């Protein structure tokens, strides 16, 4: 056996217990001591290794999206969009690409109930022939903030009070009262879709604006949408209490049971596209992540289907160590100037290097399945076998060369260095349109939820008044509070 090609696997377990180094262990229940009752010796290598490994079994919990579960399957192109993008995995109908998908809640800890009212993560890793494409999204098409510099603050506000370790809405409403752009996201959070019945019955959205690039070099803005073929189902507040009380992992169990029974979850992928030349024709900024693109103007176009037909083999390896990064794109798909996306391109990779180490992309679940090569080497947890002598570029001794250039956007920029808010904020129109599109009973449930959290004793009259002003006289009449704006 070539030891350099061997990879550890439980499929090759020895018939007896060993140390990590492979040495046989003759006693796995007693420490090495001086005599029967003497002190334990530090030279008991197996004891030290066993305990040291145990105390390091947990990697740092994700700051957000800690509670999650993954499943594997494939993405299949069903409609020809080769005129819109040169992405190889979208080259023709019938092309299939292996994927792994992670569903999650955003705010709460890893052991929290899956029935919490919260945004759900919907992240898809495509293992394409040109590298990995990570489409990291949510079950809402918008987010609370539009600039990445605000992300630590919004998460701190949503997380538990650092003094009491209790999530308290007075803190959330205090912070968000300064962000009227958050209203549209609240129209998803506190709507009936705020608690999905399970992961199979919820939508997914890429949230951000990306760009598609055709072979001709033509660039289009694009948004991605996942639509479940089995429909959208949600839990009422009362149902969530019952379901969560009975099983805090109900959505994980549902996903596992569905796949195990052959009832494979499936979503249709749709895109919206926009010519960048039309960017200024709207009353909002199309790159503002707190806004949606109207489907009556920019209709959904079908692309393909996502099928999950395999459960994960190991939770730690394929959920806890599964690492997504919006910076991972492939030729034919690129970023836009979306300010939140621009920040996430750096932040996610930096987060994974903190949680899992600089070589997190060598882990099997994260590694690309195509041939790849660079001179990044060594560092913590590096298990890439290398026998070459040249680890620099260029070199006369190494024939490796740069890849052929792929099309990328050719935007040119002029302007002064500045920190500013985008000009077309238009924070209220889309939120109002969504609210008015609901049936009266759905509106009432939405208002009832807001009445409840706005009644918190620690909310000041000023903060409550701001939210009343945001949401309308209907809330004001129920709370017997007059708007302050």
Contact 179, 145 (CB under 8 A): yes
Check for a shared fold between 1-57 and 68-178+185-362: no
| Residues sharing a CB contact under 8 Å with residue 174, sequence separation 6 or more, in sequence order | 157, 459, 463
The span from the CA of 74 to the CA of 309, in Å, is 8
pLDDT given for residue 7 in this prediction: 59
pLDDT given for residue 89 in this prediction: 98
| Residues sharing a CB contact under 8 Å with residue 417, sequence separation 6 or more, in sequence order | none
From the candidates 65, 108, 208, 225, give the one annotated as an active-site residue: 65
**pTM as predicted:** 0.92
pLDDT given for residue 418 in this prediction: 80
pLDDT given for residue 1 in this prediction: 46
Q: Does domain 1-57 sit in CATH 4.10.91.20? A: yes
Q: What is the mean pLDDT of each run of 10 residues along the chain (485 residues)?
A: 56 76 83 86 86 84 95 98 97 98 96 96 96 96 94 94 95 96 97 98 98 96 98 97 96 98 98 96 96 98 98 96 95 93 92 92 91 82 82 84 82 82 91 94 95 95 94 62 51
Q: Domain 68-178+185-362: state its class.
A: mainly beta
Counting Cβ atoms within 10 Å, is residue 142 exposed (0-12), middle (13-18) or buried (19+)?
A: buried
Q: 45 labelled as ligand-binding?
A: no
Q: What residues does each domain of the chain span?
A: 1-57, 68-178+185-362, 428-473
The span from the CA of 102 to the CA of 66, in Å, is 11
Structure tokens that stand for 167 in this block: 């999530």
Give me the residue label for tokens 């399945």: 369
pLDDT given for residue 2 in this prediction: 55
pLDDT given for residue 382 in this prediction: 85
Contact 129, 194 (CB under 8 A): no
Look up 411 and say whether it is catalytic.
no
The span from the CA of 226 to the CA of 76, in Å, is 13
Look up 178 and say whether it is catalytic.
no
Contact 24, 16 (CB under 8 A): yes
pLDDT given for residue 420 in this prediction: 84
pLDDT given for residue 8 in this prediction: 60
Nearest to 75 by CA among 6, 5, 144, 135: 135
From the candidates 138, 139, 359, 427, give the one annotated as an active-site residue: 138
Contact 432, 184 (CB under 8 A): no
The span from the CA of 110 to the CA of 63, in Å, is 10
């Amino acid at each position: 056996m070539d030891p350099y090609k061997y990879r550890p696997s439980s499929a090759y377990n020895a018939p007896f217990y060993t140390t990590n180094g492979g040495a046989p262990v003759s006693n796995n229940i007693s420490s090495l001591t001086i005599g029967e009752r003497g002190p334990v010796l530090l030279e008991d290598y197996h004891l030290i290794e066993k305990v040291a490994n145990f105390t390091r079994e947990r990697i740092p919990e994700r700051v957000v999206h800690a509670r999650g579960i993954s499943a594997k399957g494939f993405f299949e192109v069903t409609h020809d969009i080769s005129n819109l993008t040169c992405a190889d995995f979208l080259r023709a109908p019938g092309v299939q690409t292996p994927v792994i998908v992670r569903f999650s809640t955003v705010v709460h800890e890893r052991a929290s109930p899956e029935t919490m009212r919260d945004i759900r993560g919907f992240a898809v890793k495509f293992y394409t022939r040109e590298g990995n494409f990570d489409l990291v999204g949510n079950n809402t098409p918008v987010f609370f903030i539009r600039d990445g510099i605000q992300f630590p603050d919004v998460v701190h506000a949503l997380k538990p009070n650092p003094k009491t370790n209790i999530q308290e809405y007075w803190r959330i409403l205090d912070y968000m009262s300064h962000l009227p752009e958050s209203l549209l996201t609240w129209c998803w959070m506190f709507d009936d879709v705020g608690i999905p019945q399970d992961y199979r019955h919820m939508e997914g959205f890429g949230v951000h604006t990306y760009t598609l690039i055709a072979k001709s070099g033509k660039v289009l803005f694009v948004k991605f949408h996942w639509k479940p073929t089995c429909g959208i189902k949600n839990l009422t507040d009362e149902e969530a209490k019952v379901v969560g009380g009975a099983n805090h992992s109900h959505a994980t169990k549902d996903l596992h049971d569905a796949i195990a029974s052959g009832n494979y979850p499936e979503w249709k992928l749709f895109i919206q596209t926009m010519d960048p030349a039309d960017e200024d024709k709207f009353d909002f900024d199309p790159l503002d992540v707190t806004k949606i693109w109207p489907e009556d103007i920019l209709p959904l176009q079908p692309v393909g289907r996502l099928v999950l037909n395999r459960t994960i083999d190991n939770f730690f390896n394929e959920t806890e160590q599964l690492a997504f990064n919006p910076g991972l794109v492939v030729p034919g798909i690129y970023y836009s100037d979306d300010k939140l996306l621009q920040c996430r391109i750096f932040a996610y990779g930096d987060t994974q290097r903190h949680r899992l180490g600089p070589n997190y992309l060598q882990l099997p679940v994260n590694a690309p399945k195509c041939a790849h090569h660079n001179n990044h080497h060594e560092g913590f947890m590096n298990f890439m076998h290398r026998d070459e002598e040249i680890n620099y570029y260029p070199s006369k001794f190494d024939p490796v060369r740069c890849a052929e250039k792929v099309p990328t956007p050719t935007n040119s920029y002029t302007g002064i260095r500045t920190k500013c808010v985008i000009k077309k904020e238009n924070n209220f129109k889309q939120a109002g349109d969504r609210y008015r599109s609901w049936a009266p009973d759905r509106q009432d449930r939405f208002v009832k939820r807001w009445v409840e959290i706005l009644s918190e004793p620690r909310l000041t009259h000023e903060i409550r008044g701001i939210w009343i002003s945001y949401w309308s006289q209907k809330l004001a009449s129920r709370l017997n509070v007059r708007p302050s704006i």
